[in-house]
Structure 1
Amino acid sequence: MNKRKSNPRNHQQRKINPKQNPRRNSSKHEDFQTVEGRHAVRESILAGTRKVREVNMSEGLDSGSIIDDIINLAHELRIPLRKHSKSKFKSMTTTESAQGVQAICDPLPDLGIEDLIEGTDNPFILVLDGITDPRNLGSIIRSGECAGVTGILLPRHRSARITPTVSKTAQGAIEHVPIASTTGIPKALTRLKELGVWTVGMDMSADSDIFDLRIVNEPLALVLGSEGKGLGRLTRERCDLTVKIPLFGITESLNVGAAAAIGCFEIARQRLTKVKR
């Protein structure tokens, strides 16, 4: 059993109205969200961010620590646990490999920009402008959470949404970092400035290197653009400054997921270094 303990008060299970049976409505994202993959399902239960309505499993799963955790947590928290034939389970899932486990959950909290600032001493926000590949988005969320990002901001349009693929790729990180949405990134950057947050865009055409950034101990938002085009013109213009990752090889650019990981951990490194001084 995983050593982390869930807070039972975060997981009090209400009786489900038969008309709102999660299996019947699991495809309706406005009512419920599905989480697939062993790590992602376990984290959805442990985090207590939202109610887990039920857990579905495929028959014939090999026993392992994560599967045992999920089963024990479901029993402990009285979350309905249902087993299905392999063919039935496959028909219920949407990711390429759900690893035999699926959770039906309430939607993640609907947050705005101010929610990412409130109650945070030194915000470190990741702003993603137009990431359209779900796996890229999931990977970036996972890297950001590991680097200590305190919030993530996504546009409501022209961007990948939080889907089972994103959740699975993020390995459950979406349960641990607040994710807000906004109608437009340029306008959101203006609002962040009003709230006292420095906005730093990552752009390969920038003159300054991210390693020379000197404002990491201030409230900060790191802004990344889309996979192919990078930062849009308006987004770039609204940033307080732009920085680049210096490249020393022949290849001209990095995948946005790699760039996000480098950027987030460089800011984390600088913050940690300054704290130790």
Structure 2
Amino acid sequence: MTKRRKKGSGNTPKAEDRHWYGKRQSARNAKSASRTGNPTTGRGGKRPAESRASGEGGASAARPGGRAPVPASRRSPDAPELVTGRNAVVEALRAAVPGTALYVMSDTDERVRESIQLASDRRIPLLEVGKPELDRLTDGGVHQGIALQVRPYRYAHPDDLLRGTSTPLIVAVDGITDPRNLGAIIRSAAAFGANGVVVPERRAAGVTAGAWKASAGTLASVPVARATNLARTLKSYRQAGCFVAGLDAGGGAAVGDLEVAVDPFVLVVGSEGKGLGRLVADTCDMLVTIPMSGRAESLNAGVAAGIALYEVARRRAVK
């Protein structure tokens, strides 16, 4: 891979040139010895599946009740997304989800009128359509007479997140399938100064209307990169001089005790149900954990990411 020169900060030193490089092998040995259970963001025992919170009021590309207007197998991942339903559309517009067109049958409902006003304020084109056309656009979904078209998200390249700083902080996610969990992680990344978030291209949540809403608008300022192979991307980050730590129930150290967090650092977060994939976990320099003394067996991925990023930001602030 051709290394790119960062603007204004010089090249990130190679991993072997950093003071913590000698600790890498012992850390990986400790990690291997500690992996006796299912990797998760919580503690041992059986884990509940990742949250699938739903509701009519949420911003979603699905019709009310959770059925998608277009089957995923027939929908391109880069195609415009349609948010349907009166509650879902108005909440998406309130959350500043980047719409490109608002399709409306009539303005007899208060929520529809608010949606029209919000779209007008943000200069989103308003298109009056009949029921047959809206049925066709939503593939026969229950649209309640309104639909918001959301532009496809433009993903960054993983290498772009290394630019502009000599001590990048990057968050990588593995196995996160709920867009709202992804949005929450992006919101924490923005709050604690991360340079960006990396998501896998396949079998993972991408930047959808649900992610936009959960991020509370921070997606506008935090770049999200898409990796065709997450393990390979993490290896390239290591080669660029980053220390890669994965959140895991059996981690050998507490995330708040990592002195290397003040250096170029990548935090990898897995799903609550399955944790980190084997290849991704094996790529990490160290597995770290969030100590818990309460009764909860595990933490939601978004919550775990927020706690870990706070600890990293706290240590960086002290430096």
TM-score (norm: length of structure 2): 0.61
Q: How many residues align?
A: 236
Change (3 A) 1:146 1:33: farther
CA distance in 2, matches of 1:154, 1:120: 21
Cα deviation for residue 129 of structure 1 reads 1.0
2:121 is matched with which residue?
Answer: 72
Which residue, out of 147, 150, 156, partners 1:104?
Answer: 150
Give yes or no for contact 1:124–1:151 (8 Å, CA) kept in 2: yes
For residues 101 and 211 of structure 1, do their structure 2 counterparts lie closer, same or farther at Cα, with a shift above 3 Å needed?
Answer: farther
Say if 1:216 and 1:270, in contact at 8 Å, map to a contact too.
yes
Distance 1:89 1:121, change over 3 A: farther
Q: Deviations over 1:164-209 (max 9, x none)?
A: 3223332333332111111222211110011122111111111211
Residue aligning to 2:217: 172
1:54 is the counterpart of 2:118: no
- 1:151 counterpart (190, 193, 196): 196
Q: 1:183 aligns with which of 200, 214, 228?
A: 228
Residue 273 (structure 2) pairs with residue 250 (structure 1): no
Distance in 2 (CA, whole Å) between partners of 1:145 and 1:97 is 33
Residues 37, 205 of structure 1: alpha-carbon distance in 2 compared, 3 angstrom cutoff: farther
| Partner Cα separation in structure 1 for residue 147 and residue 315 of structure 2 | 39
Q: Which of these residues, 77, 80, 103, is aligned with residue 32 of structure 1? A: 80
Aligned-partner Cα distance in 1 for 2:260–2:142: 42
Whichever residue aligns with residue 255 of structure 2, its letter is I
* 1:85-100 equivalence runs, <5 A: none
State the one-letter code of the partner of 1:271: R
Q: Which residue of 1 aligns with 2:313?
A: 268
Structure 1 residues 218, 40: CA separation in 2 closer, same or farther (over 3 Å shift)?
farther
Structure 1 counterpart SS, 2:293: coil
| 1:178 maps to amino acid | P
The alpha-carbon distance between structure 1 residues 171 and 55, as it changes in their structure 2 partners (threshold 3 A), is farther
Query: Secondary structure of the equivalent of 1:253?
Result: coil
Secondary structure (helix, strand or coil) at the match of 2:122 reads helix
Shift of 1:242: 1.9
TM-score of the aligned structures, taking structure 1 as reference length: 0.69
| Alpha-carbon distance in structure 1 between the residues aligned to 2:119 and 2:197 | 27
* 1:23-64, Cα deviation, whole Å (9 max, x unpaired): xxxx7653434566557546455xxxxxx6334567344699
Query: d(CA) in 2 for partners of 1:96 and 1:221?
Result: 42
Matched residues in 2 for 1:92 and 1:252: separation?
44
**Unmatched tracts of structure 1, length 5 or more:** 1-26, 46-51
Question: How far, CA to CA, are the matches of 1:268 and 1:86 in structure 2?
Answer: 51
Q: Contact conserved, 1:126 with 1:223, CA < 8 A, in 2?
A: yes
In the aligned structure 1, how far is the partner of 2:135 from the partner of 2:213? 15
2:188 partner letter: S
Q: 8 Å contact 2:176–2:271 — kept in the other structure? A: yes
Shift of residue 241, structure 1, vs aligned partner: 1.8
Change (3 A) 1:67 1:119: farther
Q: What one-letter code is carried by the residue in structure 2 that aligns with 1:161? A: G
Relative to structure 1, is the Cα distance of residues 62 and 137 closer, same or farther in structure 2, using a 3 angstrom cutoff? Answer: same
2:270 aligned residue: 225
Matched residue type, 1:32: P
Cα contact 2:175–2:277 (8 A) shared by 1: no
- Structure 2: segments with no counterpart, 5+ residues: 1-74
The answer for the alignment partner of 1:11 in structure 2 is none
Given that 1:55 and 1:103 are in contact with CA atoms closer than 8 Å, whether structure 2 keeps it comes out as yes
In structure 1, what is the Cα distance between the partners aligned to 2:199 and 2:210? 16
8 Å Cα contact 2:90-2:111 kept in structure 1: no
Rg larger in structure: 2
Letter of the 1:213 counterpart: L
Alpha-carbon spacing, 1:103–1:123, altered in 2? closer, same or farther (3 Å) = farther
